[in-house]
Structure 1
Amino acid sequence: MKKQTGVHVGVSADGIALVDTRPPRGRWFFLDPVGAQLWAKATTGTPTPEAVEEVVAYWQLRGVDPARVRADLRQVADSLERARLLVPAQRPPARPARRQVRFATPVPGRLRDQIAGQVGLALALALLRCTPLGITLAVARAATRLPGRAATVAEAETAHAAVRRAIRAWPGRAACLEESLATFLAAALTGRRLRWVLGARLIPHGAHAWVEAEDAVIGQDETDRVWPYVDALQVERSN
């Protein structure tokens, strides 16, 4: 069995995004394609100094100044070592490259949906503000074992709308991470399963979190969501 390091990776043509879920808190680390080459070599058995020289040689053959590449890569390697990120990372299962992105909509819901939205938000806020990300992920994975079935898009939008209403009554800030986890938990409390995804874009650098149902991205804001993001970590029921 592959060793679980607590580090997850999202891969795109523009580089990679690493999300570190180890204590004390979760964090993101972004690498351009050259840095990604170094990381890939150094985490698959090549000693870091040798990995640096192999990447330098690759770019020297393409006319890039080797001294500049070497200096940049040594700096990247030092940063990765300090962050303890020169370790293998888990890559999420492949997903459709072109997913339907559905914008947030005020869907009416029943009383139980509203209660689930409030409870889901309270749980999400408590987890994300008071525990390491690893514990939050463990709770989210445990929620996938609750009785239920995969949610339809309409059911997912109902859960998301209920969380949005609960957020409007919340005096603090709730960003995409809190909102998506709350929606994931609210759906689980009503017997519906969603996919919770943490992802990133590389140009410009940015992290995001969302939920999916039937391969559709649920509840995005038309004004401030730039797609596509690449998945780095997914939480869903495996069967």
Structure 2
Amino acid sequence: MLDGAQGFLIDMRGDTHALDGRAADALRRAFAGDTLSGGDQAFVLGLISDGVLETETQRRGDVRPSRRAALLASLTRGALVLNQTGHAVRLARLSFAAVGWAETLQAWRHGIRSSVHGRTLAEIGAAVARATANDPTGADCKERALTAFTLARRNCHPAFIIVGAALHPLAVHAWCESGDQVIGDSAGRIAAYTPLLRYA
């Protein structure tokens, strides 16, 4: 979010980072498609490599995930086949920590295989809620959203990961939706957030 000469960057953990005028200007020019100088280009490429920004190619899915991300996604699919939602949540956390937001999403979306129609959205939501409530390390919203998204897609339900922001207090939240139904989260919790991004 850019405001005048300065800006704020919100990462997927919900942390905010103040940007000075030069960094805010570099992001404005990068979003406009302008040519960047060496230092500005290094700044933007650093944000991409950290998974804070995503290139158009990554968004379209033309880039195959790294071996590490693909391995974590494969382990997660195995956990879901064995009906171990709790293990999938923990593997989502490990994947986000190991390779970041963009590569984790890419790997998990790339490897989803629809199975036969099995669980309903209510059953999926309940399984994710149980898994995250019983997780001793606590699950973040992005882990909950990714697990719900993966389970919904595996069970032939159209699903999306939504990322939203609230301004007062400043916060970011991720959740999963299928149609008008929130999966693995509460509609009351997400009411305070304005949707900004939608991942299919």
After TM superposition, is the score higher than 0.5? Answer: yes
TM-score (norm 2): 0.56
After superposition, what is the alpha-carbon deviation per residue over 1:108-133, rounded to whole angstroms, capped at 9, x for unaligned? xxxxxxx8795233123113225312
Please list, as runs of the form range in 1=range in 2, the aligned pairs for 1:150-189 lying within 5 A after superposition: 155-189=120-154
Please state whether the residue corresponding to 1:173 is helix, strand or coil. Answer: coil
Equivalent pair of 1:148/1:193 in contact (CA under 8 Å): no
User: What 5-or-longer segments of structure 2 have no aligned partner?
Assistant: 61-79
1:228 aligned to 167, 170, 193, which one? 193
After superposition, what is the alpha-carbon deviation per residue over 1:153-175, rounded to whole angstroms, capped at 9, x for unaligned? x9323311121122333322112
| Corresponding residue of 2:29 | 41
User: What 5-or-longer segments of structure 1 have no aligned partner?
Assistant: 1-9, 21-25, 49-76, 94-114
The Cα of 1:196 is off from its aligned counterpart by: 2.0
2:86 aligned to 116, 121, 136, which one? 121
| Corresponding residue of 2:161 | 196
**What is the RMSD of the two structures over their aligned residues, measured on CA atoms?**
4.7
The Cα of 1:200 is off from its aligned counterpart by: 3.2
Please state whether the residue corresponding to 1:132 is helix, strand or coil. Answer: helix
The one-letter code of the counterpart of 2:110 is A
| Corresponding residue of 1:212 | 177
- Matches of 2:164 and 2:107, distance apart in 1: 19
Equivalent pair of 1:143/1:185 in contact (CA under 8 Å): no
Aligned in 2, Cα 1:11/1:193: closer, same or farther, shift over 3 Å?
Answer: farther
Count of equivalent residues: 165
Equivalent pair of 2:89/2:139 in contact (CA under 8 Å): no
After superposition, what is the alpha-carbon deviation per residue over 1:2-44, rounded to whole angstroms, capped at 9, x for unaligned? xxxxxxxx899xx775658xxxxx8866679x88972222542
More helix as a share of residues: 2
Identity %: 20
